[in-house]
Structure 1
């Protein structure tokens, strides 16, 4: 069985992944900014890890020991039009969703390269390949994550390291409900936010994502990109078939 480190394991998708991998007998190292939130997880180690803090990452790498698989899951989202979203929020999302993932990769990759084996699994999104209005910053951070992951797949395959991007659509993890919303009073973009639910479509559960991630860990030759669930497969197939000379929106909305 593999030794698996998961970032952002305190709730939602990360927690479900930790439970599923532990159930399958893997050595699970669950991490979160507040390790007390991991107390009830049936895992081998519970560590503090803030992916935006280099000292925290360095210490977690020392405490975790050998890591066969990194599951890079920590992330967040916001709701705001690009016209007025605070740039501090853009910086925060990229530090967490994109550079945070790279920071942890830099912590685990040297040992994987020296051993000639390892797995890097990134929890991306269909929004790593398409965009939704009012969630543009999140999408941009995931597009950037996908670029980093695809580059890593090329750079590290000679060293026996396999890279995968797991791409769910809407997930009933509570993340959308917790998302900060940045709209002014009487904001002209408010109707678009109200119409957003029509675009998100059918939801899958964190457990659906967890099973796909666990299957990827156990797949000897995993693909680079792995859509999760029929809604994600349909969206990504539609995006692939759409012309590149105009913005793509899977469902037209009236706002």
Structure 2
């Protein structure tokens, strides 16, 4: 097996590592689901994956195509109603981590998955909110995985689907949101975390072979770079093997 990895493989592995030590994860479809299932196969074998269709403890052997993919129910520990997932498990704060993607993201990790352009006359109508607003509001913490481009990392998102850190310190508390909000944003260029005081995203780790200037160039606001910027550990052969098995 080749140990040469792509930027997307590095991003997925880095995102999977963020779930180490977590017990429960409310998973979005797409990149979040791939990374969460890789974590289950590597660094977090006991993690319970939850999907908004009502499956708890799903163990798919391939990335599900949607929340209605039959593999989620077939491999789950149990299946409950969507109402129970949201009203009993999610909203009271019983789920550790939410794992989300986005079409747009701003400096405070607010997310847009609704429209590009004006809401009434959009350039692009996106898949929509789904359970993302509730996941972002009520999970104890949220992790975001997105590609690092100026199209996604914008100064101002066109629509706020899911609140990250609002307009800065104290915003989540003023809105009455239960969870801590986004604690990491993982991209194909590096890892960002909110500044403890300002809540603005800061590049804290660059992936191997990338330059922090690359991330700054692909960000729609002046990106802050941590003075003690780390370099992400490259994927291990075991991580790459598990990821490629999921994608095969």
- What TM-score range do you get, normalising by the shorter chain? 0.3 to 0.5
Q: TM-score, normalised by structure 2?
A: 0.42
Question: Which is helix-richer, 1 or 2?
Answer: 1
Larger radius of gyration between Structure 1 and Structure 2: 1
